[in-house]
Structure 1
Amino acid sequence: MQRWEGVNEFVAVAETESFTRAAKRLDVSTAHVSRQISALEDRLSTRLFYRTTRRVSTTEAGQIYYQHCRQILDALEQAERSMTNMQLVPQGRLRLTAPVTYGEKSIAPLVNDFVLRYPELDVEMKLTNQQLDLVAEGYDLAVRLGKLDDSSLMARRLASRTLYVCASPAYLAVHGTPHSLSELEHHNCLQGNLGYWRFQDAGHPRNVRIRGNVRCDSGRALLDAALKGVGIVQLPDYYVGPALDAGTLIPLLTHYQEDDDGIWAVYPHNRHLSPKVRMLLDYFVDSLGVPNA
């Protein structure tokens, strides 16, 4: 820090050719400017100014020093301007990850709109159903669904999702409509990664083991099977919503339906969250319509 002391005062005097005018520019006393210049000359062992009763001018060494100091101050001003601009206009690299289907349907279109609004961003988006290590792999944020595991990551709720159990009218016409959780064991239940479905029974969470002749880790594939009458399925609203609205799938066991769970943005713990990440999170929340998020 000592090497920086006196530089602002030196440049002000060199440009105004006056200790008094330099002090006024810097909003300090003339005595302060004089002390700083004297200390600077002592530290450099060089005379920087010629002083007369009528004017102050730089020596040859002072002129050389001024050119370097002016470049340094200009670079500092530019650096500060860049930081201010980053607060106002998102720019630079931004890396995020999201689940495949929800990412394709809801997150990627919002990211694309955000990039159109702020074209100085350089976005890398990885859609995967694996939970990546954000810190180790250098991601700014991840979108995750459902209940969050305990971790050191910060989380912000973006939206809610509803799980529906449903089947096609054709399947129900042949196999009947289940009215209790115990009846599911008599039905062909299309399975995802888990061997159970989630419900709420008498106000308490309940997992019910299910069996069926189709197991797949793709929600779209399970949706297709349900639409074709292969069996009953449990999927989030962003898969089955249009089919429920169209009547091509019928909701079942709605009185056992679990409360809505969350769609979250998680990001490494950092009290100085970068403006571009914060603005993208705000944009997600505004667009996905979470009240009081």
Structure 2
Amino acid sequence: MFIWDGISEFIAVVETGSFTAAGKRLGISTAQVSRQINSLETRLALKLFYRTTRRVTVTETGQLYYQQCKPLIEGLEEAELVISNLQATPRGKLKLTAPVTYGERAIAPAINRFCLQYPELEVELQLSNRKLDLVDENFDLAIRLGQLADSSMMAKKLHSRRQYVCAAPTYLNAKGAPHSLSELGQHNCLVGSVSHWRFAQTGKMRTIKVKGSLQCNSGKALLDAALLGIGIVQLPDYYVAEHLKQGTLVEVLRPFRQEDDGIWAVYPHNRHLSPKIRLLLEHLDHELNR
């Protein structure tokens, strides 16, 4: 009998709420998860879950057992990470996610150079504008832009990001430029996936709800609309910097611009001792700030 048998499967089912999701997290079949849980319940002579055709619910005894097992598993994971730190060369799989446009422009090239340095690593990079669940989907790290909301994760600031409110000269010649935040309501604002724009006013962050004739979850599409003179847009520097330099876009509301919106690496707390994560963070910090 192995005392650890079924524990990882048990914890995964509690945290994901289903045998299928637990199997996906662990990379094993649903049937194997079920067998391990049944064996664990037999060994303990306890019922850990209530099962129906629609859902799985942890029992009161199962919840107590989870609270005792969780720190033990985390301790075992950290012990393995400490030992893996002794390896001179990082190995195994590294899974991360980043937003699409910034990922294509900055993160993917940096990851490609990281792969050249450490050829024994197997790297999976998923570009998505959805905020994927790092724990449930077994990601080692995520690149997040702007204000962070998930305080349960560890975070390292990698670089600065500025948001510019700007418009084409043709729009400004026709409609005029706003000089205060209250004037935004008189303009056609090109709206992204979030309908609130962030500004700095008297040393504090302020959000303004905007609206206009176009809403799109693509920064590139909003940039194109702004260049055509359709309206005013708020976009990060990596979209608009060259256009501002060339004069095809003009910044407005400059006194209210936030100087630093932040680009972050976010990762689960049990990953912080991993040599793969440490080396990747050092690499990204160097690549994005050179």
TM-score by length of 1: 0.68
Determine what percentage of the aligned residue pairs are the same residue: 58
Q: Which structure is larger by alpha-carbon Rg, 1 or 2?
A: 1
Q: Matches of 1:181 and 1:143 in 2, distance apart?
A: 30
Q: CA deviation at 1:84?
A: 7.2
Aligned to 1:141: 141
Deviates more, 1:240-249 or 1:106-115: 240-249
Instruction: Output aligned runs, 1:271-286, within 5 Å.
Output: 273-286=273-286
Aligned to 1:40: none
Q: CA deviation at 1:150?
A: 3.5
- SS of corresponding position for 2:223: helix
Aligned to 1:131: 131
Aligned to 1:31: none
- SS of corresponding position for 2:136: helix
Match of 1:196, as an amino acid? H
Q: Matches of 1:247 and 1:87 in 2, distance apart?
A: 52
- SS of corresponding position for 1:234: strand
Aligned to 1:97: 97
Q: Matches of 2:143 and 2:273 in 1, distance apart?
A: 16
Aligned to 1:197: 197
Q: Matches of 2:281 and 2:202 in 1, distance apart?
A: 36
User: Using a 3 Å threshold, how does the CA distance of structure 1 residues 272 and 216 change in structure 2: closer, same or farther?
Assistant: closer
Instruction: Output aligned runs, 1:100-111, within 5 Å.
Output: 100-111=100-111
Aligned to 1:122: 122
Runs of 4+ more than 3 Å apart = 83-87
Q: Which whole-Å deviations, capped at 9, do the CAs of 1:64-106 have from their partners, x for residues lacking one?
A: xxxxxxxxxxxxxxxxxxx679732222211000111111111
Deviates more, 1:263-272 or 1:234-243: 263-272
User: Using a 3 Å threshold, how does the CA distance of structure 1 residues 84 and 264 change in structure 2: closer, same or farther?
Assistant: closer
Q: Matches of 2:197 and 2:271 in 1, distance apart?
A: 38
Q: Which runs of 5+ in 2 are unaligned?
A: 1-82
8 Å contact from structure 2 (residues 163, 258) kept in 1? yes
Q: Matches of 1:246 and 1:86 in 2, distance apart?
A: 51
Q: Which runs of 5+ in 1 are unaligned?
A: 1-82
TM-score by length of 2: 0.68
Aligned to 1:162: 162
CA RMSD of aligned residues (A): 1.9
Q: Matches of 1:270 and 1:158 in 2, distance apart?
A: 20
- SS of corresponding position for 1:157: strand
Q: Which whole-Å deviations, capped at 9, do the CAs of 1:247-284 have from their partners, x for residues lacking one?
A: 11101110011231211111111275211111011000
- SS of corresponding position for 1:206: strand
Residue 234 (structure 2) pairs with residue 234 (structure 1): yes
8 Å contact from structure 2 (residues 94, 140) kept in 1? yes
Q: CA deviation at 1:240?
A: 0.8
Q: Matches of 2:88 and 2:129 in 1, distance apart?
A: 33
Match of 2:199, as an amino acid? F
Q: Matches of 1:247 and 1:271 in 2, distance apart?
A: 45
Match of 1:244, as an amino acid? L
Q: Matches of 1:131 and 1:174 in 2, distance apart?
A: 38
Q: Matches of 1:222 and 1:286 in 2, distance apart?
A: 30
Instruction: Output aligned runs, 1:1-293, within 5 Å.
Output: 87-270=87-270, 273-289=273-289
Count of matched residue positions in the alignment of Structure 1 and Structure 2 = 209
8 Å contact from structure 2 (residues 162, 236) kept in 1? yes
Q: Matches of 1:89 and 1:201 in 2, distance apart?
A: 48
Q: CA deviation at 1:204?
A: 2.1
Match of 1:158, as an amino acid? L
Q: CA deviation at 1:179?
A: 1.2
Match of 1:199, as an amino acid? F
- SS of corresponding position for 1:135: coil
Q: CA deviation at 1:241?
A: 1.1
